[in-house]
Structure 1
Amino acid sequence: MSDFNLSAFSQAIADLAAQAAPATAGFATHHHRTASAFHWRDGYFVTAEEAVEAGEEIELTLASGEAVKAELVGRDPSTGVALLKPATAINAVPLARADAVRPGNIAIAIGNSNGSALAVSGSVGEVGPAWRSMRGGTIDRRINLAVGAGGRFEGGPVLDA
């Protein structure tokens, strides 16, 4: 039998998810679903472009349970990314940039649903090269995941091990 400790591995994944949870927020979408966003930098949150509509009222529910109004300040349908700016300053620590990943590495999708942390694990299925979006932005790499996450994870971050 191997000396691999599945219980310790499971706790390490849960600890990693718990460390990232304060950087996430949840919000109700125009489709009456819940989606997630994550603190990027300078008080901005990133989410899935398809989860927000121009002109709609957005209220982020932070990991603390606090609700904060936010405004859609940018979107790029060609990359599926939207940028939200909360009406009040948020003191969440931004997530660090991921290290190089390769197919088979563990991936942990993080979400937030009404202030409750969500986490699911899977693996990196494919890593592709850098590319340019239709609007001219550069995307460092394309990463496809083999993670079975529901809609509430949409727009949330994915962590590497």
Structure 2
Amino acid sequence: MSDFNLSAFSDAIADIAAAAAPATASFATHQHRTATAFHWRDGYFIAAEEAVEAGEEIEMTLSSGDKVKAELVGRDPSTGTALLKPTGAPDVPSLAKAGTVRPGHLAIAIGNSDGAGLAAFGTVGEVGPAWRSMRGGTIDRRINLAVNAGGRFEGGPVLDAK
């Protein structure tokens, strides 16, 4: 019998997701779905570009449950990213940049749905060099994940085991 403690492993994954959850927010998309954004730095949040419509009013729900208005201040369709700036600069943590990953490493996708934390667990399936997206943008590295996450995770970060 193995000494591996599945319960402790499960708790460790949940603890990583819970520690990162305060860096996330959710918002309703123009398609009336919920998407996730995460605090990047200096009060700016990153979201999926296709989830944000220019000129629409954006209300983000932080992990605390607080609601804040946000403005779309930038978008890059070539990489699929949008930059949101909430009013009042909420005090939320930023996530550290992931270290080196390789196929088989653990991957934890996190999201936010009206202030409630979401988490999905899987592995890194592929790691490759920089590449050009289908829309012509340059992506600094290709990482494909074997993680089964729903639409509410759209725009949310993926965490490594650290």
- Runs ≥4 in structure 1, deviation > 4 angstroms? 132-138
The one-letter amino acid of 1:127's match is V
Structure-2 residue corresponding to 1:155 = 155
Cα separation, 2, equivalents of 1:134 and 1:125? 20
1:132 is displaced (CA, Å) by 5.4
Q: Which moved more, 1:127-136 or 1:49-58?
A: 127-136
- For residues 137 and 43 of structure 2, what CA distance do their matches in structure 1 show? 21
Stretch moving more, 72-81 or 14-23: 72-81
The Cα shift of 1:65 comes to 0.3
SS of the counterpart of 2:41? coil
Counterpart position of 2:38: 38
Partner of 2:6: 6
Letter of the 1:29 partner, please give it. T
Contact 1:22/1:63, CA 8 A, preserved across alignment: yes
The yes-or-no answer on 1:71 pairing with 2:71 is yes
Alpha carbons 2:113, 2:152 under 8 Å: kept = yes
Quickly say closer, same or farther: Cα 1:137–1:90, change in 2 above 3 A: farther
Unmatched 5+ stretches in structure 2: none
**CA contact 1:101–1:127 (8 Å) conserved in 2:** yes
The offset of 1:134, in angstroms, is 8.5
Q: How does 1:78-89 map to 2 (within 5 A)?
A: 78-89=78-89
Q: Which runs of 5+ in 1 are unaligned?
A: none
State the alpha-carbon separation in 2 of the partners of residues 136 and 54 from structure 1.
Answer: 21
Counterpart residue number, 2:21? 21
Is the contact made by 1:35 and 1:155 (CA closer than 8 Å) also made in structure 2? yes
Matched-pair identity in %: 80
Q: Specify the SS of the correspondent of 1:40.
A: strand
Aligned residues: 161
Q: Which position in structure 2 is the counterpart of 1:119? A: 119
Partner letter of residue 102 of structure 2? R
- 2:78 and 2:136 in contact (8 A); partners too: no
Greater mean alpha carbon deviation, residues 3-12 or residues 127-136: 127-136
In 2, Cα distance between equivalents of 1:123 and 1:61: 28
Alignment of 1:122-141 (within 5 A): 122-131=122-131, 138-141=138-141
The RMSD of aligned alpha carbons is: 1.5
* Amino acid across the alignment from 1:74: G
> Residues of 1 paired with 2:69 and 2:80: CA distance?
22
What residue identity is the alignment partner of 1:15?
D
